[in-house]
Structure 1
Amino acid sequence: MILIACADRGWGIGYKNRLLFSIPEDMSFFRQITAGKTVVMGRKTFESLKVKPLSGRRNILLTRNRSFVFEGVEIVHSTKELAELTQNTKSEDIVVIGGSQVYKQLMEYCDTAYITKVFAESPADSFLPDFDSLEDWKVAEMSDIKEHNGLKYRFVTYKRTPQQSRVCPGTDSI
């Protein structure tokens, strides 16, 4: 599985159900990584999309709300249900896109993380773990520093060290 996010200097990713930054190159990178793949998100992240599935992708929503339904979105209520639903999907074709609770639930099944690291801080109420301090994650690639409207950022690819990779019980797809 792949994880993708944009985080500030303190690993903040959102505030009041909105992204912290709007960087066109980051949005383009997100589309490039997720195009044609299965995206997994939480209900709040889905609602932040103005309540419509992302086009050109298989949309799976992980939520505890058993009454939530929406056309064009597959709903699961646990990692076990997610594993069953994606059992015929290659792990590298599943991209976790948020929010913070879903990242926490699924991070242990991910082996790659694409993080747009913004060199600024913004008020945040949802966060990612600090990948730079996690022993089982290492920087694999890093872009040059880029800038948009005075905001500096870079694309960083983290890889989980092989001995730390984990498979969800009962499946080899997560």
Structure 2
Amino acid sequence: MDLIAATDKNWAIGRGGKLLCHLPGDLRYFKEKTTGKTVVMGRKTLESLPGGKPLPNRKNIILSRDRSFSAEGCFVCHSVEALLNLCGNDDVMVMGGAAIYQQLLPYCDSCYITKIDCVFDADAYMIDLDERDDFRLAWQSGWMEEKGISYQFTRYDRINI
């Protein structure tokens, strides 16, 4: 299981249920990293997608405590244990939001983080991987710029302590 997120300098990921910004290069990277895989998200993340619809060409799993929740074209799990059973040996990418990242980080081997060189007004945050002993920065791209915003792709890998 891996994780994918775009964060600002403070590890913020969103505000009001929306992404901090839309960078075409980051969206292409996200599509490249997730197409053909199983993606795991929370209900609010699903609702934030275009039309509130699941992502095409992926197995979409929603992790929600709400036992009455269902979503067309998605599998719904109500516990991490049920999620892990459903995923089996799938190639899984966790895509948010904040509570889902927190719940599933212990099961992730790598985290693909787009670091945005800005600070945004935000209300949702990713765990700061630079502050953790169990992950290390393993790779980073050069800096790119779109819409006047600089960003880079990084990968953090779990280390066994």
Could you say whether these structures have the same fold, taking a TM-score greater than 0.5 normalized by the shorter chain as the test?
yes
Show structure 1 runs of 5+ residues with no match: 165-174
Shift of 1:59: 0.2
Aligned to 2:142: 144
Q: How does 1:40-51 map to 2 (within 5 A)?
A: 40-49=40-49, 50-51=51-52
- Structure 1 vs Structure 2: percent identity of aligned residues? 44
1:152 partner amino acid: S
Q: How does 1:1-174 map to 2 (within 5 A)?
A: 1-49=1-49, 50-87=51-88, 89-90=89-90, 93-161=91-159, 163=160
1:58 partner amino acid: K
Q: Deviations along 1:14-72, whole A, 9 cap, x unmatched? A: 00000001000000000000010000000000000131010000000000111111111
Q: TM-score with structure 1 length normalisation?
A: 0.90
Aligned to 1:169: none
Shift of 1:132: 1.1
The structure 1 segments of at least 4 consecutive aligned residues displaced by more than 4 Å after TM superposition are none
Shift of 1:101: 0.2
SS at match of 2:118: coil
Shift of 1:149: 1.5
Show structure 2 runs of 5+ residues with no match: none
Q: TM-score with structure 2 length normalisation?
A: 0.97
SS at match of 2:41: strand
Structure 2 distance, partners of 1:67, 1:54, is 22
The alignment of Structure 1 onto Structure 2 pairs a total of residues equal to: 160
Shift of 1:160: 0.5
